[in-house]
């Protein structure tokens, strides 16, 4: 192999890696990995359990490979729709038929098989549910994203990493009301994130909860769902409910202000990180202080 061909090969590999990193939406990595931290913090009874092999393995998978899987399969099946999506012009990657992408996405889908020896069997259904919903959201024949209400409900997939992490450390599932509250939060987050896509989705003939409701009523939907999530968490611990109440309050603030949703949309990774960090610190406090 000549020096020139080696350079060309390396450059291509670096370009592929750069593309995959963009495809994985780094701004949103903690949407999957963050719930792992929350789940571990509330399941652990000792500081040693915070760094258990199962916790480390789940965090590593949901930080990057799971995001490549989730957003990669989305981009593959949204190739035609995304020609109208302005987010693909700068902040996200636009899939144009690169052959290496489906192979990498498939590898990330089967990667959890390597984690099974590290995980108790109670976690396996949650990993399977993540993969089924992640694929079914974008891929036919299910393609939940084109079915109003189901597009929202199916995005509970974002909390399955946290449920799996809790189960891996505690050896049992978290309280049902906690699962319900987290699922409702994810439903609201998904539907809110679909508001900037209302116009391109309508032009492409895609029906979603947001396109059916329109911007103003989608605000109301998110507010109601997020309020229900706050109430659910509040039944567990009133301080959890107060933390989660930030979301319905934000919806009210946005709906009554002149701030455009396309701008506000990019604030939420930071907001979600702050809320997730607050929840995690609460769990860690209980581990340290009993």
SS (HEC) of the chain = CCHHHHHHHHHHHHHHHHHHHHHCCHHHHHHHHHHHHHHHHHHCCCHHHHCCHHHHHHHHHHHCHHHHHHHHHHHHHCCCHHHHCHHHHCCCCCCCCCCHHHHHHHHHHHHHHHHHHHCCHHHHHHHHHHHHHHHHHHCCCCCHHHCCCHHHHHHHHHHHHHHHHHHHHHCCCCCHHHHHHHHHHHHHHHHHHCHHHHHHHHHCCCCCHHHHHHHHHHHHHHHHHHHHHHHHHHHHCHHHHHHHCHHHHHHHHHHCCCCCHHHHHHHHHHHHHHHHHHHHHHHHHHHHHC
Strands (E), the chain: none
Residue 10: what pLDDT?
A: 46
- Under a CB-based contact definition with an 8 Å cutoff, are residues 157 and 175 in contact? no
- Under a CB-based contact definition with an 8 Å cutoff, are residues 113 and 156 in contact? no
Residue 1: what pLDDT?
A: 41
Residue 179: what pLDDT?
A: 98
pLDDT band, residue 263 (cuts 50/70/90): confident
Distance CA 183, CA 152 (A): 10
Nearest to 132 by CA among 118, 112, 148, 149: 112
Task: Look at residue 176 and tell me whether its pLDDT is greater than 60.
Answer: yes
Q: What is the residue-averaged pLDDT of the chain?
A: 89
Average pLDDT over residues 72-93: 67
Read off the tokens for 111.
């990667």
pTM: 0.89
Distance CA 153, CA 221 (A): 13
Distance CA 99, CA 81 (A): 19
Residue 96: what pLDDT?
A: 60
Residue 35: what pLDDT?
A: 96
pLDDT band, residue 12 (cuts 50/70/90): confident
Condensed to tens digits (0 to 9), the pLDDT of residues 146-172 reads 999 999 999 999 999 999 999 999 999
Condensed to tens digits (0 to 9), the pLDDT of residues 112-146 reads 999 998 899 999 999 999 999 999 999 999 999 99
- Under a CB-based contact definition with an 8 Å cutoff, are residues 130 and 90 in contact? no
pLDDT band, residue 66 (cuts 50/70/90): very high
CA dihedral defined by 100, 80, 24, 179, rounded to 10 degrees? -120
Higher pLDDT among residues 48 and 78, named by residue:
48
Question: What are the CA-CA distances from residue 90 to residues 32, 67, 87, 95, 265 (Å)?
Answer: 23, 19, 6, 13, 15
């Amino acid at each position: 192999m000549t020096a020139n061909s080696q350079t060309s090969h390396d450059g291509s590999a670096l370009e592929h890696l750069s593309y995959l990193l963009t495809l994985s939406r780094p701004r949103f990595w903690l949407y999957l990995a963050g719930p792992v931290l929350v789940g571990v913090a509330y399941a652990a009874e000792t500081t040693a359990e915070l760094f258990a092999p199962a916790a480390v393995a789940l965090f590593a998978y949901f930080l990057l490979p799971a995001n490549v899987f989730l957003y990669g399969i989305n981009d593959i099946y949204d190739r035609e729709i995304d020609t109208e999506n302005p987010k693909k012009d700068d902040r996200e990657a636009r899939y144009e038929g690169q052959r290496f992408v489906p192979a990498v996405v498939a590898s990330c889908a089967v990667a959890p098989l390597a984690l099974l020896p590290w995980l108790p069997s109670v976690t396996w259904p949650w990993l399977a549910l993540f993969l089924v919903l992640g694929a079914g959201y974008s891929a036919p024949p299910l393609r939940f994203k084109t079915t109003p209400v189901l597009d929202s409900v199916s995005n509970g997939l974002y909390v399955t990493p946290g449920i799996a992490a809790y189960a891996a450390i505690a050896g049992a599932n978290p309280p049902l009301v906690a699962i319900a509250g987290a699922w409702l939060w994810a439903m609201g987050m998904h539907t809110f994130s679909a508001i900037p896509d209302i116009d391109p989705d309508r032009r492409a003939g895609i029906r979603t909860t947001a396109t059916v409701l329109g911007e103003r009523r989608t605000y109301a939907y998110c507010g109601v769902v997020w309020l229900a999530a706050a109430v659910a968490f509040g039944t567990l611990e009133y301080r959890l409910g107060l933390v989660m109440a930030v979301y319905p309050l934000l919806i009210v603030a946005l709906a009554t202000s002149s701030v455009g949703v396309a701008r506000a949309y990019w604030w939420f990774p930071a907001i979600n990180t702050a809320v997730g960090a607050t929840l995690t610190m609460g769990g860690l406090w209980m581990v340290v202080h009993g």
